[in-house]
Structure formats: C-alpha cells, structure tokens
Amino acid sequence: MDGVSIPLDHVLLLSALLFICGLLGLMMRRNIIFILVSLEVMLNSSAVAFVAAGARWGQADGQIVFMLILAVAAAEVAVGLGLVLQIQRRFKSLDMDDANRMRG
C-alpha cells in the first residue's frame, strides 16, 4: 500500500471514543430520539473497528460485516422509529423516564 497509512491503534482509539460517546449518550439522555442516535453512534463505532481490522489483515470480512451492521442499523431504526411514534402517542412525551410502567 502507498501513501501514509493510518495506524490501527489510532482507528481503534477513535472507535473506542465513539463507542464511549454513544454509551454515555445512551446512559444520560432521556429523549428517545437521542437514545436512538447514541445507539447509531455505538453501532458505527464498532463498524469502524471492523473496517480498520479488515484493512489491517487485508481481508474482506471487515467490510462485509460493515455491510451487515448497516443493514442491522437500518432495521433497528425502522423498529426504533415505530417505537418512537407509539411512545409519543401513548405518553405525549419522548422522555423515556415517563415510560416506566413496568417498574416492580
């Protein structure tokens, strides 16, 4: 390969940072839209790690899995947005802490 290659460590670091951002968002945001966004961020952080790993070992698997993750994310968003609509309709809010009827 020509040119400057980005070291794997950096990509993994980026992936980890993105994952932590997404995780923190998931744990801290109350709005369901932002929770879904955080989930997307987390999914994509792992996708970055796969792509980088695939490039590092020179195999196509990483990119294949990235395609899979894209499909999963699309499906997840479809379900997630459906949930968002239902929650908005039932609770008249997007605050997930209001949807706590299943508390013990």
Partner 1 sequence: MLKLLPLIPLFPLVSSILLMVTLGKMPRRVVAILGAGSVGLAAVVTVLVGLTFMASGQPHHQVLWTWMRVGDFSPDIAFYLDGLTLVMMSVITGVGFLIHLFSTEFMEDDVSFSRYFAYLNMFVFAMLILVMADNLLLLYLGWEGVGACSYLLIGFWYQDPANGAAARKAFVVTRIGDAAMAMGLFLLLTELGTLDIQPLTEVAKSKWQVGDTLPLIACLLLLGGAVGKSAQLPLHTWLPDAMAGPTPVSALIHAATMVTAGVYLIARTHELFLLAPIAMLVVAFVGLITSLMAAFTALNQHDIKRILAYSTISQIGYMFLALGVGAWAAGIFHLVTHAFFKALLFLAAGAVIHCLHHEHNIFNMGGLRTRLPVVFWSFLIGSAALAALPLTSGFFSKDMILLQAYKLPGAGPWLWVGGLLGALLTAIYSFRLVFVVFFGEAKMEPDKLPGIRMALPLSVLCALSIVGGWFALPLSSVFPATGDHHPSHLVEGISIAIPLIGLAIAYLIFLGGQLNVEGLVNSSGGQRLKKFWFSGWAIDWLYDQLWVRPYKFLALILKRECVDDIYNTIVSFSQFLFMALSHTQTGRLRWYATSMVFGLILVIALLQGVIR
- 95, β-bridge pairs: 31
Is residue 35 close enough to count as binding partner 1 by CB under 8 A?
A: yes
Minimum CB–partner distance for residue 58 and partner 1 (Å)? 29
Could you give the CA distance from residue 33 to residue 87 in angstroms, rounded to a whole number? Answer: 11
CA dist 32 and 5 (Å) reads 38
Q: Does 8 contact partner 1 by CB under 8 A?
A: no
The kind and range of the H/E element at 92 are: none
In whole angstroms, how close is the CB of 4 to partner 1 at the nearest point? Answer: 33
Q: How is residue 66 written in tokens?
A: 């990235």
Q: Which of residues 15-34 bind partner 1 (CB under 8 A)?
A: 23, 26-30
Site membership for partner 1, residue 67 (CB under 8 A)? no
- The secondary structure of the chain in percent helix, strand, coil, rounded to multiples of 5, reads 80, 0, 20
By CB under 8 A, tell whether 89 contacts partner 1. Answer: no
Q: Footprint of partner 1 on this chain (CB under 8 A)?
A: 23, 26-30, 35, 96-97, 99-104
